[in-house]
Amino acid sequence: MNEKLLKKLEQMYTRYNELEKLLSDPEVISDAGRYTAYIKEHGSLSKMAGKYQQLSEIISRKKETEGLLAQEEDKEMSKMARDELGLLVKQEEDLFDEVKGLLVTEDTVSSKNVIAEIRAGTGGGEAAIFAADLFRMYTRYAENQGWKVELFDSNETDLGGFKEVTFSIEGRNVYQKLRFESGTHRVQRVPRTEASGRVHTSTATVAILPEIEEVEFDINPNDLLVDTFRASGPGGQKVNKTSSAVRITHVPTGLVVKCLDEKSQHKNRAKAMRILRTRMYEMFEGQKRDERDQIRRGQIGTGDRSEKIRTYNYSQNRVTDHRINFSVHNLEQVMMGLLDDIVNALLNYYKEEQLKHLAESL
């Protein structure tokens, strides 16, 4: 297993060195998009490159020590060589363990920002209120992590809920921590819209998509139909009097995105393109993603909107993640953005399953 792992590390190290040369190329430096993408890839490979250098040095020293031990006749010197060899073997094993951990926690998409979409499901007005609660929960969690949240589009109800809301979250390892939030979230509580005080069950769906950079996925401008219109708020209230809202249709696939949060048509178009690029990549790379996430599908869920992943039970002050049968009894704090216990439980479970999968595949 370790020989195959070392070969994989060598390939990463080779790519790391290629990127170092590319980042000093004037042609790359003049292309902001390519330069930014290469910088991110270079950074994501830096840990692995360092581990490969450490392993190479230890393996070289181990071979030298083994050679000395085979030739040494002096008992005292032989003992010293054996002690040195034992220490090097232990260091090698520890480093390989670190590498395995990094491979399952720092894949190519873990460090990406995300495009998040929340939609009200079954439950009418209460489902829309729950969707707004989830939006606030993720916003507060992002603030706790030092991440930046940017609203792209929303369809607000008169009661302050959201029929749907689309936003981005930017920061360090956003997708790594939020990747398992996709799916159907269920709430059990007495709704604000229910006068009789009966407990109702409502749902909202969450999609967490790794944001795709422009250099990673090219869209032909001739395939796009761009419409502009005036944005409006709840009940048709005008937000602005200019046609700043943007709707973009990708004609070949029929994908439609819109953005109306900004007063600037240019800014709304840029945001809409970010959403479209991410959704199209998700569509076209679906098969590869399924293969990459095979272990997650079997062990922690598909991430499909239709899959019920979590229940928020207000009467019992309990939040339960059904995929790993994990519960916490601090619902109010969770809704205030204190998601660390749930996120860490999911990440630890995923890491353990990925380590098993890695051991089988190498």
Token pair belonging to 307:
């899959």
Of 45-59, 246-260, 269-283, 299-313, the poorest mean pLDDT is in: 299-313
Query: Which of these, 280, 267, 285, lies nearest to 223 by C-alpha position?
Result: 280
Inter-CA distances, 129 with 181, 187, 264, 335, Å: 18, 11, 28, 13
pLDDT at 279: 84
Interval 278-334: pLDDT, tens:
888 777 776 565 655 544 444 455 445 567 999 999 999 999 999 999 999 999 999
pLDDT at 346: 93
**Which of 40-54, 190-204, 250-264, 333-347 is modeled with the greatest confidence?**
333-347
Amino acid identity at 291: E
Query: Which of these, 151, 182, 350, 352, lies nearest to 258 by C-alpha position?
Result: 151
Judge whether residue 201 has pLDDT over 70.
Answer: yes
Residue 78: exposure state from Cβ atoms within 10 A (0-12, 13-18, ≥19): middle
pLDDT at 105: 65
* Dihedral, 29, 170, 105, 322 alpha carbons, nearest 10: -160
Higher-pLDDT residue of 298, 20:
20
Percent of the chain with pLDDT over 90: 39
pLDDT band at 53 (very low <50, low <70, confident <90, very high): very high
What is the CATH class of 114-211+302-361?
Answer: alpha beta
Q: What number of CA atoms fall less than 13 Å from residue 167's CA on the CB side?
A: 23
Inter-CA distances, 133 with 38, 190, 213, Å: 37, 14, 29
Query: Which of these, 138, 163, 160, lies nearest to 150 by C-alpha position?
Result: 138
Strand blocks (E) in the chain: 114-120, 148-156, 162-170, 183-189, 200-210, 224-229, 245-250, 255-259, 308-313, 318-321, 326-328
pLDDT at 290: 60
Alpha-carbon distance 282 to 266, whole Å?
25
Looking at residue 238, the DSSP 8-state letter turns out to be: B
pTM: 0.69
pLDDT at 238: 45
Interval 153-199: pLDDT, tens:
889 998 889 999 999 999 988 998 999 999 999 999 988 767 677 88
Average pLDDT score, the chain:
84
pLDDT at 343: 95
Q: For the chain, what are the domain ranges? A: 2-105, 114-211+302-361, 216-284
Number of other residues whose CB lies within 10 A of the CB of residue 199: 12
Question: Nearest 5°: CA angle at 59, between 71 and 41?
Answer: 165
pLDDT at 106: 63
Interval 333-350: pLDDT, tens:
999 999 999 999 998 888
pLDDT at 288: 60
Domain 216-284: which CATH number of 3.90.180.10, 3.40.50.720, 3.90.1170.50, 3.30.160.20: 3.30.160.20
Count Cβ neighbours within 10 Å for each residue of 326-346 and write b for 16 or more, e otherwise. bbbeebeebbebbbeebbebb
**CATH 1.20.58 fits domain 2-105:** yes
Inter-CA distances, 82 with 18, 28, 68, 89, 197, Å: 39, 50, 10, 10, 75
Percent of the chain with pLDDT over 70: 85
pLDDT band at 236 (very low <50, low <70, confident <90, very high): very low
pLDDT band at 7 (very low <50, low <70, confident <90, very high): confident
Number of DSSP helices (H) and strands (E) in the chain, helices first: 11, 11
pLDDT band at 146 (very low <50, low <70, confident <90, very high): very high
Position of tokens 């046609």?
243
Query: Which of these, 305, 88, 297, lies nearest to 204 by C-alpha position?
Result: 305
pLDDT band at 271 (very low <50, low <70, confident <90, very high): confident
Residue 5: exposure state from Cβ atoms within 10 A (0-12, 13-18, ≥19): middle
Of 91-95, 114-118, 141-145, the poorest mean pLDDT is in: 91-95
pLDDT at 360: 67
